[in-house]
Amino acid sequence: MPPNREPIDLCAFDELVEGEIVELRAGGVPVAVGRWEGRVYAFNPTCPHKGAPLVCGKLMARLGSGGPGQMDVRSEAPIVSCPWHGWEFALDNGENVADRSEKGLRLQRCDVVGGRVKLGIKLGPAAAGE
Ligand code: FES
């Protein structure tokens, strides 16, 4: 999307179901939109590996580790898992979680304004009411 384009209205925030991904159209172009813990993430709807439809993937919390024997759940930074071969992408920056040398996921600019999900305002995840 060109950087100076007007934001595109996608849907009402309340139409999105927590923890689910839907495929919408923005100016005729498909975009995947997921809602996680009150935030909205928009991204390319096809996996950069072999093109799986990420609308069939899963949103989930990212696991992290502060060191050997330590495991923590980072639900504030969700990932999307591909339904075909399980590649996982961070939705805060699009990186391939398992192998940063592999292709990442292209994120879309997204925000929630007045209860509406808008594409094209800023980079990264958006929260309701911001
Ligand atoms: S198509 Fe997504 S991991 Fe292979």
Three-state SS string over 39-85 comes to EEEEECCECCCCCCEHHHCEEEEEEECCCCCCCEEEEEEEEEECCCC
Distance CA 80, CA 111 (A): 19
Classify the phi-psi angles of 56: left when phi > 0, otherwise alpha if psi is within -120 to 50, otherwise beta: alpha
Domain 8-127 CATH (choose: 2.60.40.1120, 3.40.718.10, 2.102.10.10, 3.40.50.720) = 2.102.10.10
Ligand 1 pocket residue status of 50, Cβ below 6 Å: yes
Nearest CA residue ID for atom 1, ligand 1: 50
Indicate the domain borders of the chain. Answer: 8-127
- For residue 84, how far is its CA from the centre of ligand 1 (angstroms)? 5
Dihedral sign, CA of 90, 40, 34, 41? negative
pTM of structure: 0.85
99: Cβ below 6 Å to ligand 1?
Answer: no
Q: CB of 102 within 8 A of CB of 96?
A: yes
Residue 123 tokens read as 């980079």
**Which residue among 49, 55, 105 is best mutated to probe the pocket of ligand 1, counting the most ligand atoms within 8 A of its Cβ?**
49
CA atoms of 62 and 24, how far apart (whole Å): 25
Cβ of 52 less than 6 Å from ligand 1 = yes
pLDDT tens, position by position, for the chain (130 residues)?
445 568 999 999 999 999 999 999 998 889 999 999 999 999 999 999 999 999 999 999 998 888 999 988 888 879 999 999 999 999 999 999 988 888 999 999 899 999 999 998 544 444 554 4
Q: Which of 82, 99, 103, 106 to mutate to test the pocket of ligand 1 (most atoms within 8 A of CB)?
A: 82
